[in-house]
Amino acid sequence: MTDITFMSGTVKGEITPPSSKSFTHRAIILSALARGDSKVRNPLISLDTEATMDAMRSMGADIRVEDGTILISSKGLHAPDRSIDVRNSGTTLRLITGIASTFDSETILTGDESIQKRPMGPLLEALSTKGVVCTSNSGKPPISVKGPLMGGDIEIEGDMSSQFVSSLMISAPLAHSPMDIHVKGELVSKPYADITLSMMRAFGAMVEETDYGYHVENEPYIERDYTVPSDYSSAAFPLVAGALGGEVTVCNMDPESKQGDRRIADILEMCGMKVIRDGDRITCVRTGRPKAIDVDMSD
């Protein structure tokens, strides 16, 4: 048995956090939906994002990774010839389901044992109201989806997962007519829907937030060169280390990011720490013992 001793001390330095997985998923999908050639720079390459790349390949996109950049060429997507295995990626499953609903042929989506326990009922029920034929294992994967997807008004529960809303948003430009997405109840994890909204606009979609949810025109996505920002969730750890023991700077952070975890800098200030924002750099300096605060972390 190995003994490990941790010695207290100070920490000082700077670090560039990993890229955002949420942005990477969406950038891959939107690039594949846009006809033409797109580049996704600074992506997070992981098992989950590789599952999304494989799913897009099975739908007809040409995807390769060169020198840390994902190159995506698409002439339009279609239903795959075989079932899509999302492995352990719930984001892939939920976002791809909406896209599959726009195809005239059947798409089957499955995954590992954990994925087959993920609830998909609210999304499938919403899609079925717009002409999509959906089957599942009591609302869980494996699921089968067959379009086409009609436009118009569609309702989705907002209290289970913002990924259901994002799935409808991303697929809406491919519907037969403009779509009004009515979100019932409070939308949980809304910053992720905000990310979807901002990225759809970056790829040319005409989408607006409304008092009931979202209005999306059925206009095509456009190709583009997109750079994935660093992940604020990952940046939180070194910033807190600075608050507890010295001074830490995180680099390549988008100060206008829609990521909910961007609030970590504000929270550390509330705790009494000195936070310096300089362009894409955030520095946290310990100024004493952090003070207790009351903060709502629901987003």
- Per-residue burial over 79-106, b = 16 or more CB atoms within 10 Å of its CB, e = otherwise: bbeeebbbbebbbbbbbbbbbbbbbeee
Averaged pLDDT for residues 193-218: 98
| 52 domain residue, yes or no | yes
Q: What is the pLDDT of residue 6?
A: 75
| 181 domain residue, yes or no | yes
- Domain check: are 192 and 80 in the same one? yes
pLDDT tens for 111-163 read 999 999 999 999 999 999 999 999 999 999 999 999 999 999 999 999 999 99
| 5 domain residue, yes or no | no
pTM, two decimal places? 0.93
For residue 52, pLDDT over 90 is answered with yes
Percentage of the chain modeled with pLDDT above 90: 92
- Domain check: are 33 and 83 in the same one? yes
Q: What is the pLDDT of residue 298?
A: 76
Q: What is the pLDDT of residue 296?
A: 86
- Per-residue burial over 18-47, b = 16 or more CB atoms within 10 Å of its CB, e = otherwise: bbbbbbbbbbbbbbbbbeeebbbebbbeee
- Give 109's pLDDT tier (boundaries 50, 70, 90): very high
- Give 39's pLDDT tier (boundaries 50, 70, 90): very high
For residue 4, pLDDT over 90 is answered with no
| 136 domain residue, yes or no | yes
CATH of the domain at 116: 3.65.10.10
Q: What is the pLDDT of residue 3?
A: 87
Place of tokens 């379009």: 147
Q: Whole domain around residue 180: which residue ranges?
A: 21-227
